Amino acid sequence: MKIIILGAGQVGGTLAEHLAREENDITVVDTDGERLRELHTRLDIRTVVGPASYPVVLRQAGCEDADMLIAVTSQDEVNMIACQVAHTLFRTPTKIARVRATAYLTRKGLFAHEAVPIDVLISPEQVVTDHIRRLIEHPGALQVLEFAGGLVQLVAVKAYYGGPLVGQDLGFLRRHMPSVDTRVAAIYRRNRPIIPRGDTVIEADDEVFFIAARRDIRAVMSELRRVDRDFRRVMIAGGGNIGERLAEHLEHSHQVKIIEHGLERCTVLSERLNRTVVLHGSATNKRLLEEENIEDCDIFCALTNDDEVNIMSSMLAKRMGAKKVLTLINNAAYVDLVQGGEIDIAISPQQATIGSLLTHVRRGDIVNVHSLRRGAAEAIEAIAHGDTQSSKVVGRAIGEIDLPRGTTIGAIVRGKEVLIAHDDVVVASGDHLILFVIDKRRIREVERLFQVGLTFF
């Protein structure tokens, strides 16, 4: 595909890296020539220096025959105008834009072909808020991903020494829990992927990705680790868009406190939120944390826009007795450094957003993509179409499908029914298949599996 990416920041740069590896024709546009040079030396891409919404710059980037425009500059208005120009002057088929401001997102009818012609809107704050909310709803999970409208979940947990399954093979899980159907999609041991088989033995500290119907997730988690009690007391550092949205979602079912540095913002938050306690001060202030009984806090979420403040306040909260800490980190290089020590969960907004963008770039009928393990792996939801002649998957049992190396099918959703993917399950047209791909280089092969042959037409 010929794809133009506007904005060479964290998201634009990471997206260019993902897509260039998959043999797409990528052009990146930005006003920062130095940043573009750095990307160009690392990746096989074209770069154009200039304001992303100018018609002459878009023409220079090849907008006349581009398949897709992805506008992820730091300014909502530039992203919106660029999509408008691409639509009006160049008839670009697919236009994706990142829009942050709630003032735009809450206006119905604004993003339509007759108004601002954006085909897909990405709101990073909403994506990250949903991600954090799912983690709070599943204490003990490192990652919780939803598929098929929430009917199926893929959950990552760390297997703890002394857990019921540690030292047992995966076949034991099925024998031990005959009433719960689940499948282990992948295991990461010392950061290396293992393709799970029935005789694979789970070791302490393994990161286990398992897939199950939403209703069965808790039961499976309890087998892999001691179950953490539900989070009730939540403290949020940072009252920005993410902090506010999270508090709004949780305040009716949890006891929520927000610490916000800006006095004006505190006033706004106290007016908008109903039950949340809004505190004016710094999240790195030891005395404030003491006064607010940090030792009784079930989870401390550091969500300011400053990585250092997030890391330091999380470490301080943990040492002062917070049961769990969750930290938002914009600099992707920091994520692996801090997670797993005093910081229980580190979240990269870029990785969460990349998944939303990749969903619309994938070929075949792919409706959901989650980027995992800092982009090394992907979880994909694809729809099977066609018949036994035109499709490589329809009418075949899972054990007969020629899957690319390192790819596993975890579950099938048929209507409202969830079928865990055992070898004898036969795929029907219209089924949603949830796949786990540990080798990103195999993505094209996975996409080809779900492309329908000409006989179908």
What is the per-residue pLDDT for 114? Answer: 76
Buried b (16+ CB within 10 A) or exposed e, 37-56: eebeeebebbbbbebbbeee
Cα end-to-end span (Å), the chain = 23
What is the per-residue pLDDT for 346? Answer: 87
For residue 419, what are its two tokens? 């079928």
Closest CA to 275 of 250, 296, 297: 250
Strands (E), 305-452: 324-328, 345-347, 366-372, 377-383, 407-414, 417-420, 432-437
Residue 17: φ, ψ to 5° = -60, -45
Q: What confidence tens digit (pLDDT) does each residue in 358-383 have?
A: 777 766 577 888 877 666 688 889 88
pLDDT higher at 219 or 38:
38
Is the pLDDT assigned to residue 103 strictly greater than 50? yes
What is the per-residue pLDDT for 364? Answer: 57
What's at 72, amino acid-wise? V
What is the per-residue pLDDT for 388? Answer: 84
Residue 213: φ, ψ to 5° = -60, 145
The rounded distance, in Å, linking the Cα atoms of 32 and 262 is 31
The rounded distance, in Å, linking the Cα atoms of 177 and 422 is 15
The rounded distance, in Å, linking the Cα atoms of 265 and 244 is 10
pTM more than 0.85 = no
What is the per-residue pLDDT for 276? Answer: 94
Long-range residue pairs from 102-109, CB within 8 A, at least 24 positions apart, any chain = 102/241, 104/76, 104/80
Q: What confidence tens digit (pLDDT) does each residue in 181-211 have?
A: 888 888 888 878 888 888 888 888 888 888 9
User: How many CB atoms lie under 10 A from the CB of residue 400?
Assistant: 12
Q: Do residues 284 and 312 make contact, with C-beta atoms less than 8 angstroms apart?
A: yes
Q: Do residues 60 and 79 make contact, with C-beta atoms less than 8 angstroms apart?
A: no
Cα dist. 130→31, 278, 369 in Å? 32, 21, 15
Q: What confidence tens digit (pLDDT) does each residue in 297-331 have?
A: 999 999 998 999 999 999 999 999 999 999 999 87
Q: Residue 169 gets which letter from DSSP?
A: B
What is the per-residue pLDDT for 375? Answer: 64
Give the whole-number percent of the chain exceeding pLDDT 90.
39
Q: Which residue has the tokens 């055992």?
A: 422
The rounded distance, in Å, linking the Cα atoms of 423 and 435 is 14
What is the per-residue pLDDT for 226? Answer: 61
One DSSP character per residue, 173-238 reads: HHHH-TTS-EEEEEEEETTEEE---TTPBP-TT-EEEEEEEGGGHHHHHHHHSPPPPPP-EEEEE-
For residue 403, what are its two tokens? 């899957």
Closest CA to 87 of 95, 99, 97, 76: 95
Which stretch of DSSP H or E encloses residue 36? Answer: helix 33-42
The rounded distance, in Å, linking the Cα atoms of 443 and 359 is 12
pLDDT band at 280 (very low <50, low <70, confident <90, very high): very high
Is the pLDDT assigned to residue 73 strictly greater than 80? yes
Opening angle at CA 248, ends 241 and 153, nearest 5: 90
